[in-house]
Structure 1
C-alpha cells in the first residue's frame, strides 16, 4: 500500500514538473525516487513521454520508450497514443503509421484515441479521404465515437475545404441526438468566416446564442475579428460590449482585437481608453498586447514612447516578434523617417527575422513619399514576394499615372500564380482608357484573361487540347470525392 501511494505521489510530482516544462527536474525526481526504493511505473514514463513530445520533440519522447523497456516496464496503448500525438504535432504521417504498426506487433490494441490522432494527422497532411476512411473504420469496429472524434472530423473537413460537408455532418449528427459542444460551434463559425460565408457564420452564431450554450472568449473574439475585417466596426464593438455586459469570459486577445479595429477606424482616443481598461482589469500582457501598445503609440506619432516601451520590455526578458519590428518600420515610414525605417529593416535582417511584411510596408512608405523608383529597386531585389507586394506597387504606380509599368507588373504577378485584386486590374484598365490608350487597355484585358487561363491549366496539369477552359472548370468543381459521401452514409445509419 505504501509503495503504491509513493508511486502515485511520484507520478503527481512528475506530471506537475512536466506541465511547467521542468523536464530535467522531472528526470531527477525519478532518479531520487528509485534511490528511495520507489519504482516508476507505466504512468510515470507515459507522463515523461508526453512532456518530451510536447516541449522538446517526437525523437526525445521516443527515446524514453527504450529506457522504459530497459527498466522492465511494458508500454501500453496510452504510451503509443502519446507518441502518436507527438508525431502528429510534427505532421509526420509516416511516424504515426510506424507507431501503429509497432503497437499491433506488440499485440497492443489501438483505441479510439489512437484512431482520432491518426485521423487528425491525415487531415493535417491534406488527405481528407484517408481521414474519413479512419472514421469509417471506427464505426465498423463498433467503437463509439466521442465528441473529440466528431470535432476532429468536422474541423478536418473544414480545413480541407469541405465546409458544406462539415455542416451536413453537423446537422445529421444533431438529428441522431448528438449534442455539439461550444468547441464544435467555434470550429464551424471560424471556418465559415474564413471561407467568406459571413451570413452563414452569423446565422450559426445566432443559433449558438439561442441554444443552452454560452459563447466563450474564442467565439466572441472570432465574430468581432471578422466584423472588423469587413469594416463593420460598430457591429464588432456591439458584440464586445455585449460580451462584457452579460458577464461572458473574455481575455487580453479580445481587448487587442478591439483596439486594433479602433486604430484602423481612426478612433485613437477610444483605443487608448480600451487599453487603459485592459491594464486596470489586471490582464497579463504578452507579445500581442505589447504589439498593440506599440501600434497605438505609432498611430499617435509617439515613436519615442514606442521605442522606450520596446527597450523596457526587452530588459525584462520578453522577446518581441517580427510583427513588433514591422509595426515600428511602418510607423517610421508614416512619419517620413525613411532612413530610420531602412536602418530598422537592416536590424531585422541581421537578427534573422522574416522581413516580407516589413519590406511591403517599406515599399509602400517609399511610394508615399514619391520614391517609386527606389521602391521598384527594392522590389526587384526581393527573393520572396506576395500579392500585397505587387498590389502596393500597382496602386502607387497608378496614382503616379505610370499605367504601362503597372500593367507589366500585374501580368507578372498573375503568371507567378498570385492573386491580384479586381480593383487593381480595373484601376490599370480604366487608367489606360482615360489616358487615351484604349487599344492598350483592350489588349491588357485580353492578356489578363489569357494569363489567368494559362495559370489554371498549369495548375491542373491539363493541356488546352484536352478540354476547353469552361469544361475544365466544370469538371474540377463537379468532381466527387470519397469525403462527399459522408452525409449519405450518416443518413443511412452509420452512427
Structure 2
C-alpha cells in the first residue's frame, strides 16, 4: 500500500474517532492535500532517515511549554469542541483531560519538527496529514492503555501500522514529552516554595547584609529546594501512615481478601512506575487546538519562555559513569602535594563539564579534603567551561581568610585584578573582615574606603570588624568615630564594641574618652558591669588619679558588684603609683572584713611594690601567701625578685630568678628587660647584665640610650662596681 492510500485511509478512520469535528476549511485542506500526493517516487513515510543518518532533534525547534495549550488555539479557527450532547466532565476528569491535552500538544509540537526535518520538501498540509495519522494511532493506544505499557518498556516495541524507525521515534518523543511534563510539574511546585514566606524572609535578611545578584539567586533556590524536600519528606511520611492504616484494615477484612490484595499490591510494585498518564475508563476526551504551529511568533514565544526557564530553574549535573567515574574517584583521592592538573584535564575531556558539574565536584572535594579543595578551585577558576565570575573569586578569598591563609587569599585577589575584575561590595566586605582579623590596618582601611566609594553603606559586621582593627592597632579614637557614624545611621553598636573601646582607652590612661564611652553605654541601655567599672578604675589609676579611681571603685560596690581579685589589684596598683601604702593597706583590711580574700593578682602588685622598697622579708611573706594558693606566680613577680635580690646582693636567689626569666625570655617585654638589666648592674652582676642585653636585642627590642650608657660605664669600671655578694 502506497503512502497516498495509507494517508487517505488512516485520515478517514482517525477523523471519525476524534471528539467533535474539524471546521470545514481545515477539513477540506487536509483532504485536498492528501489527494494531491501523486508522486510515485516520494519517500515512504517510514523512511529510515527518520532515525538514521539525520539527527532526529532539530536544534532550532523551540522547547515545549505548558502554556502552549493556551497559545495554539489562537492561531486559527480550527479548535475542536465537544459534541453538544456530550455530558460535562467532573473536576477529576477535567484535570485528566488537561493532562491529556498537554501531552498531545507537546507531542504534536515536537513531532512536527522531526517530520519537517526528515521531509523538508513536503508542504505544511502534507505534514499535517501525517501528524493526524500519528496522533490518531497514539490516541488509540492511549485509549486501551497500550501506550503506557510501550513507554514503560526499555526499548520501543514495533507496531504493525508503522515502520520500526517511525514507531521508535514516536516512542522517544512520547518519553521526552512525559519527562518534560514531569519537570514542568516540578518547576511549578518549586515556584510555590520560591514565593513562600520563609524563603522571602531569608532573602530579605540576605539582602540586608549585602548579598545580591547571582549569589542571592543561588541561595534562594537552595532554600526553596530544601523547603520542598522537607515538604516532600513529610508528605511521604503521611502517605506511609495512610498505607499502613489501609493495610491494617485489609488484614482485618479477611484472610482471602487480604491475600488477594497483597498479591495485587505485589504486582503493582513489580510494575515499573515510569509513566504518569491518567488511568481512564471509557473513551478519552481530548482536545487538540489545531495542528497549525508554523506561525513564527509562537516559535519566538517558546524560545523566550525556554530562556527564562533556564534562568530561574537550576541545571542538573551530568550523570557520571564508566571511565569518567574512575577519573572522578582519582581526583577525590589526591593528596594536597599532588598536581591535579593532568587528572582534571582528563576529566574535562571525558565529561565536557558545565558549571554545575564543576560545582558538584568542588562541593565533594570541600567535604573530603579542604586543602585539596583550595588547590583545585584555584585551577578551576581558569577553566572556560566553569564560567568564572566575581562571586567565585570572593568565595575563595573568604574561604582562605576563614582558614587564616592570608597569603593565599592575597594571591587570589591578585589574579582577580590581573583578569580585569574589579572587587565589588561583597569582595570588599570579605577583605575588610580578613585584614581586620590579620591586623593589617592599612589594607583594611583601604577595603573599607572602597566600599564607601562604591556607594555601599557598611553593615554592622563591617563596622565591628573595622572598629576592632582600629582598637587592635592602638587607634581607638578612629574606632570611636565609626561608632558615632553608626549611631547617626541608627545602627546600634554591640556591647563588645563599646567594651573594646573602653578597654583600649583604659590601658592608655585616657580618662576623658573612657568616661565618654561609659556614659554612651548607659544611654544605649547597657548597665554598668563589673568589667566596665574595673576599666574605669584602671583608666584613672594609669592616669595617676588614685582618688578618682577609688571613687569609681566605691561606686561599683554601691551598684551591687563585688570586687574581684583583678579589680582590687588594679586599685592597689593605682595607690602604688603614688606610693600611698597606708591607703592600700586600709583598703585591703576593709575588704577582708567584708569577706574578700586576695588572689595572685593582688599579691603580685604587693610584691612589686614592696620589692621596689627593698622590703625583702615582707616580700617573702607575700610569696608564701601565693604558694598557699597553689598557683604559679606571674612573670612580673620573677622580674621583681630578680631586681630586688640583685640590688640586695643576694646572688643565689637573684640568679635563680634570672634563670626563670631566661627560660621565658620570649614572654618578656622591653620595659621588663630594662628593669632586669638595671637591677643586675646595680647589684654588680655586669656580665649577667650584658648577657640579658644580648637576649633583649635577639628578641627585637632596642635598649634606650640611658641604658646603653649605664652598660658602657659598668663595663669600663667593672672592678669598682663589683660587689661582694652577701647572704641574707
Aligned: 1:150 with 2:537: no
Give 2:618's aligned residue: 235
Do the aligned partners of 1:251 and 1:283 also contact (CA within 8 Å) in 2? no
Do the aligned partners of 2:435 and 2:443 also contact (CA within 8 Å) in 1? no
Aligned: 1:255 with 2:642: no
Give 2:433's aligned residue: 46
CA distance in 2 between counterparts of 1:85 and 1:253 reads: 28
Task: Map Cα deviations across residues 266-317 of structure 1 (whole Å, 9 max, x no partner).
Answer: 22232123334666x8775646676677567656756456546655885x66
Deviation at 1:190, TM superposition (A): 0.9
Task: Map Cα deviations across residues 18-75 of structure 1 (whole Å, 9 max, x no partner).
Answer: xxxx85456458889999xxx97968743531432xxx44x44322324567999974
Task: Map Cα deviations across residues 368-404 of structure 1 (whole Å, 9 max, x no partner).
Answer: xxxxxxxxxxxxxxxxxxxxxxxxxxxxxxxxxxxxx
Please, which of 591, 594, 599 is the counterpart of residue 215 of structure 1? 599
Deviation at 1:231, TM superposition (A): 2.6
Do the aligned partners of 1:14 and 1:29 also contact (CA within 8 Å) in 2? no
Please, which of 303, 307, 321 is the counterpart of residue 703 of structure 2? 321
CA distance in 2 between counterparts of 1:287 and 1:118 reads: 23
Please, which of 468, 489, 495 is the counterpart of residue 112 of structure 1? 495
Give 2:629's aligned residue: 246
**Structure 2 stretches of 5 or more lacking a match?**
1-221, 223-362, 371-393, 420-425, 722-728
Give 1:332's aligned residue: 715
Deviation at 1:183, TM superposition (A): 2.9
- 1:127 to 1:51, Cα distance in 2 relative to 1, 3 A: same
Please, which of 454, 475, 481 is the counterpart of residue 98 of structure 1? 481
TM-score (norm 1): 0.51
| Equivalent residue runs for 1:378-389 within 5 Å | none
Looking at CA atoms only, which structure, 1 or 2, has the larger radius of gyration? 2
- 1:165 to 1:14, Cα distance in 2 relative to 1, 3 A: same
- 1:68 to 1:16, Cα distance in 2 relative to 1, 3 A: farther
| Equivalent residue runs for 1:449-460 within 5 Å | none
Aligned: 1:171 with 2:560: no
CA distance in 1 between counterparts of 2:700 and 2:520 reads: 47
Please, which of 543, 557, 563 is the counterpart of residue 180 of structure 1? 563
Give 1:226's aligned residue: 609
CA distance in 2 between counterparts of 1:33 and 1:185 reads: 54
CA distance in 2 between counterparts of 1:140 and 1:312 reads: 50
Deviation at 1:261, TM superposition (A): 0.5
- 1:25 to 1:163, Cα distance in 2 relative to 1, 3 A: farther
Say how many residue pairs are matched: 324
Give 1:474's aligned residue: none
**Structure 1 stretches of 5 or more lacking a match?**
338-364, 366-495
CA distance in 2 between counterparts of 1:136 and 1:312 reads: 45
Do the aligned partners of 1:157 and 1:166 also contact (CA within 8 Å) in 2? yes
Task: Map Cα deviations across residues 162-195 of structure 1 (whole Å, 9 max, x no partner).
Answer: 4333323323332332233433222212111112
Deviation at 1:234, TM superposition (A): 1.4
Deviation at 1:80, TM superposition (A): 2.4
CA distance in 2 between counterparts of 1:290 and 1:130 reads: 31
Give 1:192's aligned residue: 575
TM-score (norm 2): 0.36
Give the match's secondary structure for 1:185: helix
Do the aligned partners of 2:546 and 2:574 also contact (CA within 8 Å) in 1? yes
- Normalized per residue, which structure has more helix? 1
Do the aligned partners of 1:49 and 1:79 also contact (CA within 8 Å) in 2? no
